[in-house]
Structure 1
Amino acid sequence: MNETEALSSHLRTVAVEAALAVAPDLRAAFRSRMDVQFKRDEHDPVTEHDRRAEERIRHALLGKVPDSTVVGEEGGRLEGSGRISWYVDPIDGTANFAHGLAFFCTAIGAVLDGRPVAAAVVDPIAGHIFSADLSGARLGDRPLVSTGTAQESRALLITGFPNSRELASGDPESAARFAGLVSRYGTVRRTGSAALTLAHVAAGWSDAALGTTVNAWDVCAAQLLVGQAGGTYVPFGGDPGWDQPCYLAHTRDLLPTALREFTDWYTTRAAGTDR
């Protein structure tokens, strides 16, 4: 194991410990009465538990890697002097959490020199601990292998497209493109948590995932899980790099013809909008 791999392994351990530190509080708060506020609009909720969990995670990360940068969904960017940047989503799937739907997670990813190298995605209700470093991906202590069906007509796709803002844009193609995915995939679901959805792709519980309005903290950890489990993660829709606002992901077995057609259309549409 070289120096980078050893550091990656250490960062995975730190990420898992930080995510697990807030899991008991999230389980205790789940399906309780809570104050829900909104950021951009009614589709973008936040609770006191998001803010409290992020603060605790930030302290845990800086306690182990004190010179690192922490980028959180709620607290913004806290700049450090070191090479490590953490991307933290304390509750990915806040709307689910606030409504009592058990599909949300805590996601923590570590980036070294511009590359995700360690990840933790913890589902506090199911008790699933997904993690990855440069040696591979795991569910608990078991290696993850992203396998599934090869045919889209039999596959399970999870997507958040189109969301309310995309529909509000008035582009008639949005609904038609979603209908096309529904007709070509065996099953299509909308789950509301990009990080947990991608963890399910890494585990082979979903064959494919498609997102078009995500942030870096949504996907930093989970994309490493998919790749290290042998699946495919493709960022698109923005400047080159891992933190683009759109993604498609799938198991190593799937032939994603419809998804590739979608990304070609979406990229072309975005380029036309920019002109």
Structure 2
Amino acid sequence: MNKIMFAALIGASALAATPAAAQETTADKPFSGVYVGGSFGFDMQPNDRGESISFDRDLNGSFGDTISTATSPNAFSPGFCNGAATSNTAPAVGGRGCSNDRNDIAYYGRVGFDVQRGNIVVGAVGEFGKSNIKDSVSAFSTTPAFYTMSRELNWEASVRARAGFAADTTLFYGTAGVGYVSIDNSFTTGNTANTFSSNGNQKEWGLTAGGGIEQKIGKNFSIGMEYLFHRYEDTDYRVRASGGPTGGPFTRGNAAGTDFRRGFDYFRWHSIRGVAAFRF
């Protein structure tokens, strides 16, 4: 009888310990599993000091030509600024100059998964969202007139790897991967004598990389802070200036006109964001 009672006690103890052991195993891996979430933050652009607009006056695909007029060997001698023009007159000759590039908010949705082994966490995350930043460059001609090329972000999608170190319920991680964006290019000018056409929006591949910290709150929720750098090569946008009814300097090299392109190839920015996730 005593043997039977002893065996029953051992069995009951084992059953009681099973949920505790399972709970301990789950607690040992707080960052394993699939999650969905989002981010909200502020995006900032580096100062593209020295950026300019380049010209292809004979339409041979080679930029760097000088545009001349009947009275000036360089129609764009007033210069350039790394922002959107606010008047027809360049800052160097007394104009009001340029506004700064626009830094603004950004918001994204995300889905991902992580696998935790001890303190090491590896995984992947995909994101889709939008930033409201705007990047411009302006040229000023002797007319006087301004010529501003701008780009904004319609949307950005990215897939990144994640790897980090978990200290209890706090995760420190790095992340990097590829991105794909739709860029809304636009052109404005104070020149009313010529006609201008462009090839519209562009879609480009690039990279994103950064790091962050994530803190579990309860069993299924986490919040954190994240930094990301984004860089996309944006070299395909063109604006063509044609002569208009009276011709002009843009037709001196080729009767069809002159092509404009931005002198700086990259659309790039920094993100500081808060993140939140629900883990299944």
Pair in the same fold by TM > 0.5: no
Which bracket does the TM-score occupy, shorter chain normalised?
under 0.3
Taking structure 2 as the reference length, what is the TM-score of the superposition? Answer: 0.23
| Higher share in strand | 2
Highest RCO, 1 vs 2 (Cα 8 Å, sep ≥ 6): 2
Per the normalisation by structure 1, the TM-score is: 0.23
Larger relative helix fraction? 1
